[in-house]
Amino acid sequence: MAERRRVVVTGIGVVTPIGITGEAMWAGLQAGRSAVRGITRFDPSIYRSQIAAEIDYDPSDFLEAKRVKRLDRFGQFVVTSAKLAVEDAGLNLEAEDRERIGSTMGTALGGVGFAEEQFLVFKNEGIKNVAVTLATNVFGGAASCNVAIELGVQGPNSTNAMSCASGTMAIGQGFREVRDDYADVMICGGAEAPLSQLCFGAFAIIRAMSTRNDDPGAASRPFDRTRDGFVMGEGSAVVVLEEYERAKSRGAHIYAEICGYAFCNDAHHMTAPRPDGSQAARAIRGALKDAHVAPHDVGYVNAHGSSTPLNDPTETRAIHSVFGDHASKLQVSSTKAYYGHALGASGAMETAICALSLERGWLPPTLNLSDPDDGCDLDYIPGTGRSSSVEYAVNNSFGFGGINAALVLKRAG
């Protein structure tokens, strides 16, 4: 077999509730404040949960007027993040072989929120007033296709819809495309725009979300005894993945290296994780094996940590299973208490956070964790974060349908 190529992160672009651009998001992490608040995008009064992590975002600050008009919020998020990531990477696409640059994206709901909006137009005003862009915005694949069209990149292109693991899986797929020489550069990530009344309501109906409406900033409480569900968020994150020697030769800034990826399925339940965490553990083991990294070499885990009663102890169980005695030495945090759970975008946001954390030697905390629940007994980084030089980090993502995904990142050098 030919030697596998090394893959590095050379660009980061994000649209998140705690900051737009990688640097703004990093500043938001260090500020240590949650962006969760009462919902303003629609009237949530019919629901038990009335809070979310919304983004103050004007697409015209980042996109041409004609693109703003043709894209829904979901598309605006992902194209903005992709452009920011390419700019951050210092790529001159005019001088590149566009056939060797591709895009892989992930999303749980795609443009469903826009479809919901347009259905109301159809119902109240008739078909002639429905947006002509409905068909091209509503499908999930619009994410990677809009990036390809905006940037003119003609390499491998796909968007997966594997719920809350989809952003991580998109980056994992992009990693493989570069590693196995199908592309030299991949623009990868996840996007989600679920803050519309019915999309939000779908999760409210199954009682998956926190009802701590009187204290929004403390509502997302990963691993805490008093957690009562996740808090929905929105946004996107995109990373530029590049073959190492190519990145090095052009003098690119390297944030971190992606060195392992794996995914699998619980085959258990559409909304509940397999209680023993065995398949979640299998995904983590597979990523470590792919990376040729021993469990005891990992210093940090960015946990899925959704703040739901079922996920958090199950994920902790999986981490114990994989890392054994080393689990007590791992530094662990969930960053969702900052920006909510943006479904398919979350794993991409957290991959970007891992890359920045490895580069800068600071690990973000798990906000709002004051009393770890029974079965949640790892070294969860406290509320101020922690300065720590870590060689390897693992990013976990788990989603509806029993999907499990994990990435291994290495500090650049």
pLDDT digits (tens, 9 = 90+) for 356-380: 999 999 999 999 999 999 999 999 9
- What is the DSSP-derived secondary structure letter of residue 343? G
State whether residue 93 is helix, strand or coil. helix
Beta strands 7-16; 19-20: pairing state? antiparallel
Clarify whether 304 is annotated catalytic.
Answer: yes
Of 145, 188, 199, 304, which is the active-site residue?
A: 304
Of 188, 199, 259, 341, which is the active-site residue?
A: 341
What residue has token string 């509320």? 383
Of 145, 164, 188, 199, which is the active-site residue?
A: 164
Q: Do domains 7-249 and 262-411 have the same CATH topology?
A: yes
Look at residues 231, 317, 221 and name the one whose alpha carbon lies nearest to residue 274: 317
The residue count of the chain comes to 413
CATH architecture designation of domain 7-249: 3-Layer(aba) Sandwich (3.40)
Q: Where are the domains of the chain?
A: 7-249, 262-411
Clarify whether 341 is annotated catalytic.
Answer: yes
Cβ contacts of residue 113 below 8 Å, gap of 6+? 72, 73, 74, 193, 194, 195, 196, 199
- What is the DSSP-derived secondary structure letter of residue 103? E
Question: How does pLDDT run across 316-347, given as a tens digit for each residue?
Answer: 999 999 999 999 999 999 999 999 999 999 99
Question: How does pLDDT run across 127-177, given as a tens digit for each residue?
Answer: 999 999 999 999 999 999 999 999 999 999 999 999 999 999 999 999 999
Clarify whether 253 is annotated catalytic.
Answer: no
What sections of 326-389 are H helices per DSSP?
Answer: 336-339, 346-360
Question: How does pLDDT run across 45-82, given as a tens digit for each residue?
Answer: 999 999 999 999 999 999 999 999 999 999 999 999 99
Yes or no: is domain 262-411 CATH 1.10.357.10?
Answer: no
**What's the pLDDT at 2?**
60
